[in-house]
Amino acid sequence: MAQNSKIEWTDSTWNPVRGCSRVSEGCRNCYAELMAARFSNPGQWGHGLAVMQHGRPHWTGKVEMVEKHLLDPLKWGYVTVHRPDCNKHGERALCTCPKRRRRIFVNSVSDLFHEAVTDEMRDRIFAVMALCPQHDFQVLTKRPERMRTYMDISTDNRSEDIGREMLFLSKGNHNGIIELPLANIWMGVSVENQKAADERIPVLLETPAAVRFVSFEPLLGPVDLDQDARFGGLHAFGGGPTWCACHHGKLDWVICGGESGPNARPMHPDWARSLRDQCKNANVPFFFKQWGEYKNGSDFADDAIAVLDDGRVCDGTIGEMMRLDKESPTSGGTMMRRVGKKAAGSLLDGAEHKEFPEVSLRCWWS
């Protein structure tokens, strides 16, 4: 829980739910699982949620609601965008810098659509988000089918359920009337490779949402977002459902990043470049978060490894690269060296990419 988050694409993290379990290759080195295992002693926030086994963290499968943090966003204000000449450490009352809506990452140490999270728990969380129209909430999941089912407003009484919780949580200061999907909730999926993209993004595009986004972190292989739909391709940059007159039914935002941490896997530069170029061609905002632990290099140093275009990794020796290239001649490779997250940085071909979607509140709010 952090009102001021270090995650570059958000302002705050809000964890009304804790605990999770692995679903795909992108979960192998989950930072939340490691954090929960490190703080798993009695009295610590991860107790009962994860354990260390043979030096590696493992979720126990337990998921719990954190009641004391449920209403936190109601206490948070706008984000101040300080001018370069502003004295940030001076008298705050004298600061005249502009303010903007706060971006809040929901459940950074869990998944709102985990199997153990009930609809009743989600109704309460959505009620809080509905009571905070001044904030934008960023929801990420690896379980898009459950997200789509929950958000399918045509088959249930979700609006009434959430409205009832809003009436209760606001202690009668709200009329309990709500219309879904909410304009201040961004719905997204985490994707690590083409397989995950093929499975998750089409479901996201079928989900009622004001903003739809994809986080390619950790990116573990190349992804084509606009394959020919006639052959079952994603076609994520066009088509899809239209939920209201001002929403175009495609992806609104793409985040890309390499893996960090002690067991991080390298990201081929061409994978990130491809997503950048695809977004540019489709006029979709692109946010390059980080390289992770590895930086592109051109030498065959002792600590270098080779990453092939198809995601395979070898020890970086010329002999090993020639062997793999013989097996798959079309699979080119590049040399990567582990230099640490800070040294690797967040520049892609010497440029910074920190774009965000334009948020319009014309829909669903009067």
Q: Are the CB atoms for 215 and 231 separated by under 8 Å? A: no
Q: Which of 227, 20, 52, 203 is nearest to 116 (CA)?
A: 20
pLDDT for position 146: 97
Distances (CA, A) of 62 to 20, 28, 29, 49: 7, 18, 19, 5
| Torsion sign (Cα): 305, 308, 309, 311 | negative
pLDDT for position 286: 97
Convert 179-217 to b/e letters by CB count within 10 Å (16 or more is b): ebbbbbbbbbbbbbbbebbbebbbbbbbbbbbbbbbbbb
The neighbouring-strand residues paired with 57 are 52
pLDDT for position 152: 87
Tokens encoding 78: 């706008």
Tokens encoding 21: 């379990």
Q: Strand 56-59 relative to strand 50-53: parallel, antiparallel, unpaired?
A: antiparallel
Tokens encoding 115: 């199997």
Tens digit of pLDDT at every position of the chain (366 positions)? 577 888 999 999 999 999 999 999 999 999 999 999 999 999 999 999 999 998 899 999 999 999 999 999 999 999 988 888 887 655 556 788 899 999 999 999 999 999 999 999 999 999 999 999 999 999 999 999 999 999 987 667 899 999 999 999 999 999 999 888 999 999 999 999 999 999 999 999 999 999 999 999 999 999 999 865 444 555 677 644 443 433 456 899 999 999 999 899 999 999 999 999 999 999 999 999 999 999 887 555 566 777 877 777 776 555 555 555 555 544 567 888 889 999 999 999 999 999 999 875 543 332
| Torsion sign (Cα): 296, 302, 308, 314 | negative
Measured in whole angstroms, how far is the alpha carbon of residue 45 from the centre of its chain?
22
Three-class DSSP category at 80: strand
Helix (H) or strand (E) run with residue 187 in it: strand 185-190
pLDDT for position 291: 96
pTM for the complete prediction? 0.89
- Alpha-carbon distance of 283 to 295, in angstroms, equals 28
Q: What is the DSSP string of 105-169?
A: EE-TTB-TT-TTS-HHHHHHHHHHHHT-TTEEEEEEES-HHHHHHHH-TTSS-HHHHHHHHHHHH
| Torsion sign (Cα): 147, 148, 151, 155 | negative
Which DSSP state fits 302?
T
Helix axes 194-205, 144-151, angle to 10 degrees: 0
Tokens encoding 73: 């966003």
Tokens encoding 212: 């739809």
Convert 139-151 to b/e letters by CB count within 10 Å (16 or more is b): bbbbbbebbbebb
Q: Give the domain ranges of the chain.
A: 20-62, 297-338
pLDDT for position 359: 73
- Alpha-carbon distance of 204 to 250, in angstroms, equals 9
**Across the chain, how many H-helices and E-strands are there?**
8, 19
